[in-house]
Amino acid sequence: MQLKPCTKCGRPSFYYRAYSGEYLCKGCFVTSIYDITLESIRKNEMIKYGEKVVVGVSGGKDSVSLLYILAKFFKGNEIIAVTVDEGIRGYREEGIDIASKVASQLNVKHVIYSYKNLFSYTIDEIQDYKGKYSSCTVCGIFRRRALDIAARELGAQVLATAHNIDDVLQSYFILLTNGDTERLKSFNPAVERSEAFGIRKVHPFFRIYEKELAMFAMLKGFDFQTVTCPYMQQGIRSEIRDFLNKLEERHPGIKYQLLDTFMQFYSKEHKVEGQYCKRCGWPSKNELCQVCKTIDYLNSNRHKADEQRQ
């Protein structure tokens, strides 16, 4: 199909952005990704001049793109790339190499935080002890904490991660299916409540489609990891992703409409309990935080397995 000229500059276009009705050439498409990201940051006061920003960089297309954009446009801020090493042999090594290479090209400091050092277990090692939990459940609990620890230890005011609109909508639908109305009220996909010692957790890509981030990373010629994790579950999240993509195909722009509707659930007044875990001291809704509970559970399963072996 012959595309019309670029709506913005009249040059030959390469992409029809159905949700806005625009034809875009490569240059205008790249500029539009910068514009949407920078507008999200500005409108939601994600990053202030001079603040130290830790960026979670897995080595995938989204996080590499985020690091690039922040390093390019936030010269008045110290940007530090942090990669979480889950301890997944044959998978994580490549992501670490890519993150480290990209950080060095951008002149950004790169630090690695490993589950093994922080929590005594790698994701490979929990396979025999995870019981009722999936690898991704444990990994998600550990990752949030690992990034919080990194941001705190590195003295950052901001922790930026590369969640895109598709990630955000999938999370909303999961909250809906779980009937988690409390979380719906406290979930702000732009800036998360700073429970972890005042660190602002921001998602500058929350209004960008996953598909367009992939196109952006390819057009910019970034090196990024494409191999998927061997423990990746094809659970309800991927079914919701397919469902939303089908809807978007037939009704361009519906993802934006859904995002705007869901965001109305957010209530600034919603109070988060100001409690702390009695063991590790991190913010927690209960006496023991989820990380400590998970480690206890893994330890107890390991203990049982050791006893059976003897």
**Which residues of this protein are in contact with ligand SF4, per CB under 6 A?**
86, 123, 135-136, 139-140, 229, 231-232
The binder of 293, among ligand SF4, Zn ion, none, by C-beta within 5 to 8 A per type, is none
**CB of 299 vs ligand SF4, minimal distance in Å:** 20
Judged by CB under 5 A, which stretch of 10-18, 95-103, 215-223, 266-274 contacts Zn ion?
Answer: 10-18
Does residue 295 interact with Zn ion by CB under 5 A?
no
Residues 6+ apart with CB under 8 A from 36: 207, 208
**CB of 298 vs ligand SF4, minimal distance in Å:** 14
The binder of 9, among ligand SF4, Zn ion, none, by C-beta within 5 to 8 A per type, is Zn ion
Q: What is the largest CA-CA distance in the chain?
A: 75
Does residue 8 interact with Zn ion by CB under 5 A?
yes
Does residue 80 interact with Zn ion by CB under 5 A?
no
Does residue 277 interact with Zn ion by CB under 5 A?
yes
Q: Kindly provide the b/e burial profile for residues 80-107, where b requires at least 16 CB atoms within 10 angstroms of the residue's own CB.
A: bbbbbbbbbeebbeebbebbbebbeebe
Q: Which of 17, 52, 116, 279 binds Zn ion (CB under 5 A)?
A: 279
The binder of 292, among Zn ion, ligand SF4, none, by C-beta within 5 to 8 A per type, is Zn ion
Judged by beta carbon, residue 143 or residue 207, the one nearer ligand SF4 is 143
The binder of 169, among Zn ion, ligand SF4, none, by C-beta within 5 to 8 A per type, is none
The binder of 28, among Zn ion, ligand SF4, none, by C-beta within 5 to 8 A per type, is Zn ion
**Alpha carbon distance 201, 286 (integer Å):** 22
Q: Which of 218, 272, 280, 305 binds Zn ion (CB under 5 A)?
A: 280
Judged by CB under 5 A, which stretch of 17-25, 111-119, 163-171, 202-210 contacts Zn ion?
Answer: 17-25
Judged by CB under 5 A, which stretch of 137-145, 227-235, 257-265, 280-288 contacts Zn ion?
Answer: 280-288
Q: Which of 3, 9, 18, 236 binds Zn ion (CB under 5 A)?
A: 9
Which tokens sit at 64?
């590499």
Q: Which of 15, 23, 28, 53 binds Zn ion (CB under 5 A)?
A: 28
**CB of 55 vs ligand SF4, minimal distance in Å:** 17
**Phi then psi dihedrals of residue 215, to 5 deg:** -65, -40
Judged by beta carbon, residue 112 or residue 247, the one nearer ligand SF4 is 112
**CB of 6 vs Zn ion, minimal distance in Å:** 3
Interface ranges with Zn ion (CB under 5 A): 6, 8-9, 11, 25, 28, 277, 279-280, 289, 292
